[in-house]
Chain A
Amino acid sequence: MLAIRCTSLVKRYANVVAVAGVDLTVETGECFGLLGPNGAGKTTTIEILEGLTVPDAGAVEVLGMRWDDGAGRALRERLGIQLQETQLADKLTVEETVRLFRSFYRHSHTVDEVLALVELEEKRRAWVGKLSGGQKQRLAVACALVSRPELLFLDEPTTGLDPQSRRQLWDVITRFRTAGGTVLLTTHYMEEAERLCHRVAIMDHGRVIALGTPRQLIATLGAEHVVEFALADGAGTAPDTAELATLPGVRSVRPAADRTALTVTEVHHAVPALMALLERRGAELSMLATHHATLEDVFVSLTGRQLRDA
C-alpha cells in the first residue's frame, strides 16, 4: 500500500527550475526523508505533495487521492502538515492555538492528548511568543498531529534547534511512526535522516541523485570508514591521489581544498600505511581524523561538495 506516489514532477519559478523531474514512492508506515542542501528543491517537492503548490508537470497521488480531483478537503482531513516558515500567532496561548487548529478537523485529538504527545502540557497557558524555539517547533508539530493524521509532512522540523530540542522532536516523530503513521520529512541534517528514516532520497539541483536506505547508500561508498587528513605547510611533498589509492584498504580518494578524505574498508591497515607513506615523503600531519561513513560522505562523493556549504 503506497502512501505517496509521484512521477516526473517539474516546477519552474521564473527562470529557475526548482524541481526537475522527481519520481518518488512512500510506503504506508515508513518514514521517508528528503535530504539535500538548501535550494535542492526539497521544500518545493514537499509542498507539491501537500497540495499547496501546483506542479508544472507530473502526477501526484496521496493516500490514493489526487489534489486536482477536487478531493482537497477530504484529503486534508487525513494529513498533518508542518511548514518550514510558519510563525503561529504570538498573542495566542498554546492551548488556544491547538484548539483553533483542532476546530478545522472532523476527527481530532483532544487538546490534552495532543499536548501530551509533544510534551507541552506545562506550557498550555503560555503565549506562543514566549516559547523557546524548540517549544514553538513542537507546537507546530502538535498542530499537525491534532488531526490524527495518517500521513505527516514535516519540512525541516529541527532546523536551528539545539541538540536537546532536536532529540525531543525525534522522539515525537518516532512515537508517531511506531503507532503506525507514515512520515515524509525534509532535512539537511544527515544524522537526522540516518536516525529517523527508513529510506532517504538525496536531492540536489531539483533532482533525486540517490535513493535507498541509509545503510544501502553508505554501502555504495564501498567501505564503511572515512579517514581525513591534512598536511602542515611547507614540509616534504604531498602524495598524489594515485599513490593514496594504492594504499591497503583504500577504496577511494577525495582531495579537497583543506583536507583529503579516504574511504577505507579497514582503518587499522590504511592508517599505518598512510603514516609510513607520509614519513617517507617527510610530510607532517596537521590533522588526522576517522569516522564511520555517513550520508554526508555519500553526498560529498556524489556531488563533490559538502552538504552544509553546498
Chain B
Amino acid sequence: MRDHPLVQLTLARMREFYREPEAIFWVFGFPIVLAFALGIAFRNRGPGELRVAVLHAPGDSAVAAALERAPGLTAGVLDSADARVQLRTGRIALLVVPGDPVVYRYDSTRTESRLARLEADEVLQRAGGRPDVARVRDERVTEPGSRYIDFLIPGLLGMNLMGSGLWGIGFSVVQARTKKLLKRFMATPMRRSHYLMAFVLSRLVFLFLEVAALVGFGWWIFDVGVRGSIGALAFITVLGALSFAGLGMLVASRARTIEAVSGLMNLVMLPMWILSGTFFSYSRFPDTMQPFVKALPLTALNDALRAVMIDGTSVALLGAPLAIVVGWGLASFAVALKIFRWR
C-alpha cells in the first residue's frame, strides 16, 4: 500500500509543500492576517458622531448650539472658505446656512451626508417648535451574522480555495516541467492519471487544514459561527477545492515557464478577486454584469459558503451555485487532460 505510486506521488507533493515556508504562509497565514486586519478595521461601531458645520452668518451660534445638543452630531461655526474645503474633503458631512430659508449644503451621494441632513433637519424643526405626532420607541439589535466579518470569512475561505488550488497545482506542475522532471517521469512506467490524481489528493489533505484554520480563527477571535451543518461546509469546500484544482491544471497544462504560468494565473484570478463578492457584495455591480458575475466559479462558491455559514441553508437547496462550481471543475479537467504538455 505504502509503495503504491499514487501514495508515493501524493506524499512527495505534500512534502514539497510543507517544506516550503513561503507556501505555508500564503495558504494558512495570509488569509488569517487578512481576516484579522479587515475584521478590526470594519468592526461594527455604527456611524459614530457626524461632523456638521454652520456658516458664519447672523444667528449662527444659536443654530450651532441646537445642533450640538443632538446626540449624533457635533457642530462648529466656519467661515465660507473653510466650510467649502471641509465639505469637499468630507471632514464635515453637512453645511448649514442660517437664514430664511435655512439651506442645507451636502453631497447627496454620501450616506453620511444624507444621514446628517436628516438629523440636523429633525433637530432644527423641533427647536422651531414642531411637535411629534406619534409615540415611538427604539429597540437596538446587534446580531452575529449581520456584521462585516460574518460576510468576510466565507469570502476569504472561497478566495483561499481558489488561490491554493491555482498556485498549488499550477506552480508545481510548471516547475516539474521546467526542471524536466515531468519528462523524467514519462521515462518510467508511471501512469499519467496517478500523477494528476496525486495533486488532487494532496490538495484535499491540506484543504481540511486550511478550512479549519480560517473558520477556527473566525470563530475564536470574532465569534463567527457556522449556522448550517459542518458536513455541508465540508462538502462545499471539497467541491470548491476540486473545481479550482481543475482550473489550476488547465492553467498549467501548456505553460513552459514560471513567468508564463504566473501571468495566466493572475489573469484568471484577478477578475474573480474583484467581481466575485469576496470583500463586498457583487450586487453593487450593474444589472447587465450580473449574469457574467454569477457564472464565475468563485461567485458561486462564495454564495454557497455564505448560505451555509450565515443562513444555515442545507446543501439540497444549493443546487444551482454548486452546479456552476462543479461544471467549471469538470470542464477545466477535461480540457487540461486533452492539451496537457507532458514534457
Contacts and interface: CB of A to CB of B under 8 A. Distances in A.
Contacts of B343: 52
A83 B187 contact: yes
A91 B183 contact: no
Interface string B1-39: 001110111011001100110000000000000000000
A103 B9 CA distance: 9
B3 A91 contact: no
A50 B185 CA distance: 12
A81 B343 CA distance: 15
B3 A103 contact: yes
A126 to B, nearest CB: 13
Given A91-B20, A96-B15, A86 B184 contact: yes
B188 A76 contact: yes
B78 interface: no
Contacts of A104: 5, 185, 188-190
A91 B187 contact: no
Contacts of A72: 189
Interface residues of B, number: 24
B181 A92 contact: no
A92 B12 contact: yes
A103 B8 contact: yes
Contact of B188 (A74, A85, A88, A147): A147
B179 interface: yes
> Which secondary structure dominates chain A's binding surface?
loop
A99 B19 CA distance: 18
Nearest to A85: B180
B186 interface: yes
A103 B185 CA distance: 12
A105 interface: yes
A284 interface: no
A96 B4 CA distance: 13
A143 B9 CA distance: 15
Contact of A76 (B8, B179, B180, B189): B189
A106 B188 CA distance: 11
B256 to A, nearest CB: 13
A102 interface: yes
A51 B186 CA distance: 9
A100 interface: yes
B169 to A, nearest CB: 15
A100 B181 contact: no
A83 B19 contact: no
Contact of A73 (B9, B19, B189): B189
Contacts of A100: 8-9, 11-12
Contacts of B189: 72-74, 76-77, 104-106
A101 interface: yes
Interface in B167-187: 179-181, 183-187
Contacts of B16: 89, 91-92
Contacts of B20: 91
B188 A83 contact: no
A79 to B, nearest CB: 8
Interface in A272-287: none
A220 to B, nearest CB: 35
Contact of A92 (B15, B185, B187, B190): B15
A125 B186 CA distance: 26
Given A91-B16, A99-B3, 18 more contacts: A51-B187, A52-B186, A52-B343, A76-B189, A77-B189, A79-B187, A86-B180, A86-B181, A88-B181, A92-B12, A96-B15, A100-B8, A102-B3, A103-B4, A103-B8, A104-B190, A106-B189, A147-B188
27 contacts: A52-B183, A52-B187, A52-B343, A72-B189, A74-B189, A76-B187, A76-B189, A79-B187, A81-B188, A83-B184, A86-B179, A86-B184, A87-B179, A91-B20, A92-B15, A96-B11, A99-B8, A100-B9, A101-B188, A102-B3, A102-B8, A103-B7, A103-B9, A104-B185, A104-B188, A105-B189, A143-B184
